[in-house]
Amino acid sequence: MQLKKLSAAAIGAVLAVTAVGAAAHHSFATEFDRNRPIRLEGKVVMFEWVNPHSWIHIDVRRNGRVERWRVEGGAPSALLRRGWNRNSLPAGTDIIVDAFQARDGDTRASAAEIRFPNGRELSLGNPTTEAVAAAARRAQGN
């Protein structure tokens, strides 16, 4: 009987942890709209090196005012494989981001790569966004 109670408790704990992880993670299509591409040009305010996705906060001048955008990238492990580290985007860095806007109209976006004014590009390690961007380029014949 004691073993059954212990097993039930262990299963409950595993399910609780799994539910929290699932709630923290999302699918691209749930949060972002592949039919709403956007180009953001601005200065990095902060780079968050966090799981499950990294975030770049940038100030973008649009319509005569500055908007703070949060751009989702890949997980730190994916960024490490692409040559990134937590200091790759210091505050004040000018960047250009081609991304897909959040469905809810918030100033959030998901991007596959960023560019710098000198033309250098870095992949953000987000495989879903990379696939969506590649499909959009194929549809345009590029």
Tens-level pLDDT at each residue, the chain (142 residues)? 554 554 554 454 444 444 344 444 557 778 899 899 999 999 999 999 999 989 999 999 988 999 999 999 989 998 999 889 999 999 999 999 999 999 999 999 998 789 999 999 888 876 665 666 666 667 777 6
Structural domain range at position 110: 29-139
Q: Which two tokens stand for residue 13?
A: 């704990």
Of 136, 92, 90, residue with least CA distance to 111: 136
The residue whose two tokens read 């790759």 is 88
Residue type, 43: K
The confidence score (pLDDT) of residue 15 equals 44
In a domain, 6, yes or no: no
Q: Which CATH number do you get for residue 51? A: 2.40.50.1010
pTM here? Answer: 0.71
* Domains of the chain: total: 1
The confidence score (pLDDT) of residue 122 equals 85
Cβ-based neighbour number of residue 10 at 10 Å: 10
In a domain, 4, yes or no: no
